[in-house]
Amino acid sequence: MASHFLNGDLIHLHRPAITRRIVHWLLLASFVLCGSSRASASEERKVSVRDITTIHGVRENPLIGYGVVVGLKRTGDSQQTLFTTQTLANVLQRLGLQIPAASVQVRNVAAVMVTSSLPPFARPGTTVDITVSSIGDAKSLEGGVLLLTSLHGPDGQIYAEAQGPLTLGGFTVGGGGNAKEVNHVTVGRVPNGGTVERDTSIDLSQLKTLSLELREPDFDAARDVASAINHEFGKDLASAMDSRRIDINVSQAGAASVPLLISRVQDLTISVHPPAKVIMNERTGTIVMGGDVKLSPVSVLHGDLTVEVSTTFSVSQPEGFSKGKTVVVPDTDLRANEGPARSIELKEGASVEELINGLHAMGATARDIVAILQAIKAAGGLQADLEVL
């Protein structure tokens, strides 16, 4: 038997004889609270290949640009934001108006960064949504219009141009100490505000090997996808290269075109087994479990220790006609209350749902449960991957 202490909690991993009362309680809790979820988790689940894979090389690419938003209602950058005045002066200069940058008033103008994503197979004329974010000290972008802005790719080339009125998911009213602000008012969007200017499409007809990549690496899933493709076409044209990539020989497929081949492959279905994994967020106390997570025989003893420190202040005054001073004397009181320890005991093959339900019945908080699960995993009693965010 192994014993571990964590934050005053004693956790035992052993194989004792479970009493009839505890077995009855566990069976009842499992049937009422966890029966349906456990039954569904243990069964195989059919999914389409399109839902668990992507095409190698077919992806979005980030775009970024710098621009200005005009038409604000005196909520733009202040005069101290020098790059805004310089940008506006440069814009006016390109339009044939020569003015000194120091004379530009920018209360209705805000400098912004413009971001977007270039979709795969984008051709000139394709429209994309863009996001506009203030980089100065503007108070709000409400009612603003983005001026023509070039969007650059990672290689520095211009791939799109953006312009248009902003839409915000919030607003701000009032001023000074009597103001109301809803959501974020310094970030906005321009739906279909970007237009692609450079052809980035890929000629799929030149592909000799089509590679599928699993969204989550899994050797079993890679093997099953390759087997489903070979069974569909009646020949060995697909092979699993590793836990993520499946290569398909395009020339042996005999399809009229690569897009038709991709469509036929993505319509196939395979059986997947949900991974046994527990995700925990220590900051929020959130616990998410996937798959059929099981536990070794475990007994959890959770103590209840409360320490309360209180301080009261009393005033000490000197006697009349004395030279003493009035002083404030702190009086600290320390109380420690320890209640009886509460415990639960689970049998072989118990699920994490049963453990958490039992811990809730004991009065354990979400953060207590996170600490207990970590201790059980460290002792080898949790048959699943434990990931802490």
pLDDT value of position 340 = 63
pLDDT value of position 15 = 39
The side-by-side arrangement of strands in the sheet containing 209-214 is: 53-55, 209-214, 245-249, 238-240
Instruction: Identify the H or E element spanning 131.
Output: strand 127-134
| Distance in angstroms (rounded) separating the CA atoms of residues 343 and 63 | 56
| Residues β-bridged to residue 330 | 313
Going 139 to 144 to 149 to 151, the CA torsion angle's sign is positive
Note whether 72 and 138 are within 8 A (CB): yes
pLDDT value of position 173 = 62
pLDDT value of position 181 = 67
Tokens 């749902």 sit on residue: 353
Domains of the chain: 2-43+276-388 (no CATH), 47-57+203-272 (3.30.1360), 61-196 (no CATH)
pLDDT value of position 57 = 86
**Residues of the chain below pLDDT 50:** 1-42, 305-307
pLDDT value of position 10 = 39
| Distance in angstroms (rounded) separating the CA atoms of residues 378 and 296 | 12
pLDDT value of position 237 = 92
pLDDT value of position 16 = 40
With H, G, I as helix, E, B as strand and everything else as coil, classify residue 298.
Answer: strand
pLDDT value of position 313 = 61
Q: What is the pLDDT of residues 350-366, one digit of tens each?
A: 776 777 777 777 777 77
Q: What is the pLDDT of residues 95-112, one digit of tens each?
A: 888 877 777 777 899 999
Q: What are phi and psi of 283, to 5 degrees?
A: -70, -40
Note whether 87 and 30 are within 8 A (CB): no
pLDDT value of position 369 = 76
Q: What is the pTM of this model?
A: 0.64
DSSP 41-66: HHS-EEEEHHHHEEETT---EEEEEE
